[in-house]
A and B are shown apart, each in its own frame.
Chain A
Amino acid sequence: MENNMPPRGVVLVVDDEAGVRALARRILEGGGYGVLEAENGADALKVMASSAQVDFLMADLDMPVMRGEEMAKKIRQLRPDLRVLYVTAHSEQLFKERPELLDGEAFLDKPFTVRGLLEAVSLLKVGFINAPPPRPAPVSPIKRLWNSLTGAKSR
C-alpha cells in the first residue's frame, strides 16, 4: 500500500496470467485494498493456509491445474464467510454450471474496467457501490467576503 490508511480489506487475486494479476493489484491497491496473489488454485490454497487475513477471493474461472470454481469451493469449505468474485471472459459457462450464485459470490466479466472491479468488490463487501466522497457545501458570497476580510478559513 502506498499510503498509511488501513486497507478496506485484503483481496487474494488468483489468475494464471501475471499481467491480469498486476492489473488487479494496481486497481485494488488504488482503491484502498490490500492484495495477495496466487497464480493457480493450488497456490491459492497455500496462501489461504498461511495467511489469516483474506477477506475476498478474486478467482479467474479458467485456469489450468484447478478451475476457479473448484478452488473457491475448497477454500469456502475452510472459510465459509469468504466473499468470492469470479472473473471470467465466459460468464455463460459459469451460469451453465451454476444458474444461481450463492450468498457472498459475484461475477465480473473480463475484460473489466477500473470502476467495474472496484464496484464489484465494494458490492461484495457492503452490498452497495461506494459513493464518492461528499463535495464540500458551497460557501455563500457573503460568507466568502467575510472570510476574506477576517482571514477566516472557508468554513
Chain B
Amino acid sequence: MNIEPARVHRLKNKLAIILGFCELLLGDMAEDDPRRPDVLQIQDAGKHALAELPPLPAHELEGAIGEPAETNHGK
C-alpha cells in the first residue's frame, strides 16, 4: 500500500478515535446488550484497518506533519 506519510498519520488519528470510543462503549454496555455485536463489528473493522496501514520510518514523517490537512475535520 502506498499512502503518503501525512495521510497515514491522519488515518491513525481517526482510527484512534474510533477504537477508543468503541472501547468506552463496550465498557459501558452489559454483556447481553443487543447493541454489543454491532460495536464489536466496528471495533474489529477498525483494528483491521489499523493493521493495513504501513509503518512509517521517522525520516519519512519529517516535514509531513504540520501542514494543514484538507481532510482533517478535527481542527
Contacts and interface: CB of A to CB of B under 8 A. Distances in A.
B66 A113 contact: no
A64 B16 contact: no
A113 B66 CA distance: 25
Interface in B15-71: 15-17, 19-21, 23-24, 27, 50, 56-58, 61-62, 65-68
Given A90-B58, A96-B58, A23 B68 contact: no
Size range of the interface on B? 20 to 34
B72 to A, nearest CB: 7
Contact of B14 (A19, A30, A67): A19
B12 A114 contact: no
Contacts of A30: 24
A111 interface: yes
Contacts of B65: 62-64, 67
A100 interface: no
A113 B13 CA distance: 13
B24 A18 contact: no
A111 B58 contact: no
Given A18-B74, A110-B12, A113-B23, 10 more contacts: A19-B13, A19-B74, A20-B13, A20-B17, A27-B24, A62-B61, A63-B66, A89-B13, A96-B58, A111-B15
6 contacts: A17-B14, A19-B74, A20-B74, A89-B16, A112-B20, A114-B20
